[in-house]
Amino acid sequence: MEQKNKTTKHTSSAITHTYIYILTLPPPRHHTTMTNRMKQYVKQKIQYNTNQYIRQINHNYKEKNQPFSFNILSFSTTTIDEIEQKKTAMRTHTCGELTDASAGESVTLVGWVQSLRSAKGGMAFATLRDAYGETQIIKPASVMINNNNDNDDNNELPLESVVCIKGTVQARPTNQVKKDKSTGTIEVVADNIEIYNKADWENVPLVQKQHFNPKSPLASEALRLKYRHLDLRRPVMQRNLRLRAAVTSAARNSLETLGFVDVETPLLFKSTPEGAREFLVPTRTPERFWALPQSPQQYKQLLMVAGLDRYYQIARCFRDESGRADRQPEFTQLDIEMSFIDSNDIMLVVESVVENMINASKEILITHRNNNNNTVKQNDNNNTNTDKFEISKITYEEAGCDKPNLPGYTWVTEFPLFELNEETGMIESTHHPFTSPHPDDEHILWEAINNKDPMKALDVRGLHYDLVTQGVEVGGGSIRIHDSKLQLGVFEDILRLSPNQVGSFHHLLDALDHGCPPHGGIALGLDRFISLLCGDEVESIRDVIAFPKSTAGEEVMTGAPGMVTKEQLDEYHIVTKV
């Protein structure tokens, strides 16, 4: 018999109980498709409506004489409002929310022991840390520590151990108030201390108190990457991840308000000559390989052919490039594409989205500054301090380079469509081979194609635009070629791709012949943009990525990439050379 878990709520005026039911259904041959009836509350709170669900079951089963039953499995008195306030079955408050208004309350806190010092008479003071802040704990001499292990010293409280503190909030003496901490006016007198997980702190490579003190030198990046799960305990790293989440959410909300549709595109693609070195994924079919996408470029253009009109995606991209402070072999970009537009339409969308992303970052930065008594130096390259957010515009010829070091944010436009590779003598795309020529120069490109004279194409400007701030590229995009003959001419007569290389784009060339609208888009480098928003506390984009690769392209915490067995290599028809 198949079982399905169903969580429902019964609301009374006194308390909301959460019941977990087990629904026993008939054998699979009698199953009827059912829809979970859900009611959405304000602030995206979901509550299952039991009565509607039971009526649906009645309709599908009882009238057909199919047996079913409900059995109460367990219940909790935690409500969705309490979950939103960070309350759970294991804590009443976080370590960052108690104030002098909480004095006299009985509370339960959980977290990590950040510091510990002994006082006279057997009393001890500890700092308890969680994701939301710190709280000072007073351990009276009479309170023993329960570590659930009779073999250990019951009064030992190692640093970085995970503990539960039950006690009473009291106001700190006036001369001990710490105005630089959000919880600096109170302390919790413990009457029960339980160790959930005892840390071997003498062997913990990165102890919060010792290695992450703002007044102490920061541990080396090599050590921090090796023990990334410990490095992420640093308040600034927690801030970076929360800022990233807030900025990403702001981008999603902005684009969906404008009618954009979030579409996931495949991560297993094929190798196509787009410029960067690709990561190949072997298959069990000899000589057949997948390639991880350098970007969703071709798929998002195909979505425009499909008539979607407005697409976006928080996209994972992969390029096997040499390690640098602002590069990662796998990275994230905010990918956007629109139909029936010109460059200005794209720019207007991006300006609105970027403004909202910047504003979303400010609350996180201010909260972190207030909780940690430090001055967060946010990148001042935005002009949101004025009444109107604006981005200036300059041509490539006027700027004299592709990344002008100008204040604020700047659009750089009218790049050369192609450039000469001095080493190979071949013409290459400045942006990518799908960029449309400037309307005033399109006739020059056709002449170059018809005369098979790629050097003449060096005089053609493209409808390519970059968003730059103080010499750093934040994003780049273009209006795309939507004429299959022009696209084929660029491949064959300008870039001189081989027949096999041109053939790798057959799907795109076919689509351009099936009714392709004028379209264009942009991709914003999310990692780089967020690192700029974080300011001087970020040394590289690695500081805004939870588990980044080193400059050598390795993930040193897990030891990836790793070795594989000969049997695995044989299965994929791979022979290695040493």
C-alpha span between 527 and 457 (Å, rounded):
34
C-alpha span between 165 and 191 (Å, rounded):
8
Lowest mean pLDDT among 82-91, 168-177, 353-362, 447-456: 82-91
String of DSSP letters for 275-306: SSPPPEEE-SSTT-EEE--S-SHHHHHHHHHT
- Note the pLDDT of residue 77: 55
> Quick one: CA torsion of 402, 408, 414, 415, rounded to 10 degrees?
10
pLDDT category, 379, cuts 50, 70, 90? low
Packed helices 343-372 and 235-257: angle between N→C axes, nearest 10 degrees: 150
pLDDT tens-place string over residues 251-267: 999 999 999 999 999 99
Tokens of 517: 């609208």
Angle at 497 between CA 466 and CA 280, to 5 degrees: 75
Q: Are 188 and 139 in contact (CB under 8 A)?
A: no
Q: Is a pLDDT exceeding 60 seen at residue 53?
A: no
Q: Quick check: bond before 454 cis, omega within 30?
A: no
pLDDT category, 242, cuts 50, 70, 90? very high
- Note the pLDDT of residue 197: 94
pLDDT category, 43, cuts 50, 70, 90? very low
pLDDT category, 204, cuts 50, 70, 90? confident
Task: Please give the mean pLDDT across all residues of the chain.
Answer: 84
**Higher local confidence (pLDDT), 203 or 241:** 241
Q: Is a pLDDT exceeding 80 seen at residue 359?
A: yes
Q: Is a pLDDT exceeding 70 seen at residue 150?
A: no
pLDDT category, 285, cuts 50, 70, 90? very high
pLDDT tens-place string over residues 97-108: 999 999 999 999
Helices (H), 61-149: 80-84
User: What b/e string do you get for 560-575 counting C-beta neighbours within 10 Å, with b at 16 or more?
Assistant: eeeeeeeeeeeeeeee
Lowest mean pLDDT among 216-225, 287-296, 445-454: 216-225
Q: Is a pLDDT exceeding 80 seen at residue 434?
A: yes
Q: Is a pLDDT exceeding 70 seen at residue 73?
A: no
User: What b/e string do you get for 242-261 counting C-beta neighbours within 10 Å, with b at 16 or more?
Assistant: bbbebbbebbbebbeeeebe
Q: Are 381 and 410 in contact (CB under 8 A)?
A: no
Residue of 511, 521, 514, 489 whose CA lies nearest to 502: 489
Arithmetic mean of pLDDT, 114-126: 90
Q: Are 444 and 459 in contact (CB under 8 A)?
A: yes
Arithmetic mean of pLDDT, 533-553: 92
Tokens of 328: 């990662």
- Note the pLDDT of residue 216: 75
C-alpha span between 454 and 418 (Å, rounded):
9
pLDDT tens-place string over residues 474-524: 999 999 999 999 999 999 999 999 999 999 999 999 999 999 999 999 999
pLDDT tens-place string over residues 404-423: 999 899 999 999 999 999 99
Please name the residues in contact with 537: beta carbons below 8 A apart, sequence gap of 6 or more: 236, 376, 377, 543
How much of the chain, in percent, has pLDDT values that exceed 70?
80
C-alpha span between 83 and 102 (Å, rounded):
19
pLDDT category, 326, cuts 50, 70, 90? confident
Place of tokens 């003496």: 173
- Note the pLDDT of residue 217: 79
C-alpha span between 221 and 228 (Å, rounded):
10
Q: Is a pLDDT exceeding 50 seen at residue 29?
A: no
- The secondary structure element, H or E, covering residue 502 is helix 499-503
Q: Are 454 and 494 in contact (CB under 8 A)?
A: yes
Query: How much is the pTM?
Result: 0.81
Place of tokens 């970007």: 295
pLDDT category, 542, cuts 50, 70, 90? very high
pLDDT category, 25, cuts 50, 70, 90? very low
pLDDT category, 60, cuts 50, 70, 90? very low
Cα 199 from chain centroid? Answer: 30
Arithmetic mean of pLDDT, 47-63: 44
Please name the residues in contact with 436: beta carbons below 8 A apart, sequence gap of 6 or more: 462, 463, 478, 479, 480, 481, 482, 520
- Cβ-based burial of 82 (10 A; exposed 0-12, middle 13-18, buried ≥19): middle
C-alpha span between 213 and 382 (Å, rounded):
30
- The secondary structure of 85-96, three-state, reads CCCECCECCCCC
Residue of 117, 113, 188 whose CA lies nearest to 158: 113
pLDDT category, 365, cuts 50, 70, 90? confident
Give the E-state strand segments of 28-147 in sequence order: 38-40, 46-48, 69-76, 106-118, 124-130, 133-139, 145-146
- Note the pLDDT of residue 212: 63
- Note the pLDDT of residue 32: 38
Arithmetic mean of pLDDT, 453-478: 96
> Would you give the end-to-end CA distance of the chain in angstroms?
55
- Note the pLDDT of residue 154: 55
Q: Is a pLDDT exceeding 70 seen at residue 41?
A: no
- Note the pLDDT of residue 321: 82
Arithmetic mean of pLDDT, 292-305: 97
How much of the chain, in percent, has pLDDT values that exceed 90?
67
Q: Is a pLDDT exceeding 70 seen at residue 58?
A: no
Q: Are 7 and 49 in contact (CB under 8 A)?
A: no
Residue of 518, 464, 459 whose CA lies nearest to 486: 518
Q: How far is CA 301 from CA 86, 279, 475, in A?
A: 43, 22, 18
